[in-house]
Structure 1
């Protein structure tokens, strides 16, 4: 029996099926599943409405005149003081502030939360919670820019939105206590948060202090807590000299882009 197992093992090695490759196969399969799931979620609404409804069900519907279209049943509450009820200009999406709208939001949130499972690291979860307002604001601004066809500040906002999402990806990973806190995961969080502190603090803090305080405090938290978690688990310095150099370069590049290019 032992000789048979030895022959089978040699055959696996000759055929390139070494057991050392199994983790790579598992990682590849995991990535494939993630990409497939993302594409399904991304394409399903387009297939449902953009193809089945628009192309097959109602292909003869006339185009909307966006220049002269008006909506007189939009309550404009979510627009605040920018617009009042009446003949409001064209929006890509209208929604009124009603109980039904809130229930639709709760239903959507419920479906999202149903898929969130993790062994929680509470310190990093606190970092994630601190990012709720910046993400909420970024999403809301991006929504309004697209909905109103107002793109003057879009790319500046896009810079903050994409960098926030990048940092949050690493924060969410570290919320799982089974994943080690490493410098490779902390450097992106700290560098992006420092960029936000420099760019946001210099650019906007003097004008809307209360709103921007809600941005700057989370960035401070993103710098302090992940660095503390890394320091607590390190036998020496949390960052190597090479990582300090990378951290400095990332901050300088981010500040340059945010202050001098996307203005």
Structure 2
């Protein structure tokens, strides 16, 4: 895996830039991370984007107002550059879907429902025994409302169709600022697989964070701390040529 001045760098957030927490609001953002990302984006002429399942508002509640390109809600909302307006690309999720997930959560011992503008996630980390019933519930909602289902680490998310991290990467790569760049996508979860496949279509590279598993990624970093080290080293590397972990 090489990072150079011709790289377009795409980064997942949870499990990649920050450790996963029991509650999405409880993640810890290292103090050095926001300025590191902004500096690296400038070195890459703005070709750094966070591509996350979180909404852009939820991400900036953790990072602060940050001068970066971002695709939020699995690509359902899109900010093409640091100073650009947010573009909603999906229809809002029907309120009845969130209501039904909340009813299921209460009946299943108090699962955590995380509403988002274009999706809703239900976390079952502390109640893995409910997974079969949760699958049935979300599949029923998907059939009734025409939704897509995304499976993550101890979470299932129902989303408006047409939004995924692969399409977000492709939307960025179609922008003049990203044209001709070699993309790298770094992520940890199965929801990142669409993006791993997308960067390969541009002769780029997917980088899996965490333990080995079947994946479309072609490189791997052991965890969040190693991602941080790789990004820090990359700040200097873009001046010199290539950086290899």
The answer to which structure has the higher strand fraction is 2
Structure possessing the higher radius of gyration over alpha carbons: 1
Q: Which has the higher contact order (CA 8 A, sep 6+)?
A: 2
**Structure 1 length-normalised TM:** 0.24
Name the structure with the higher helix share: 1
TM-score, structure 2 as length reference: 0.25
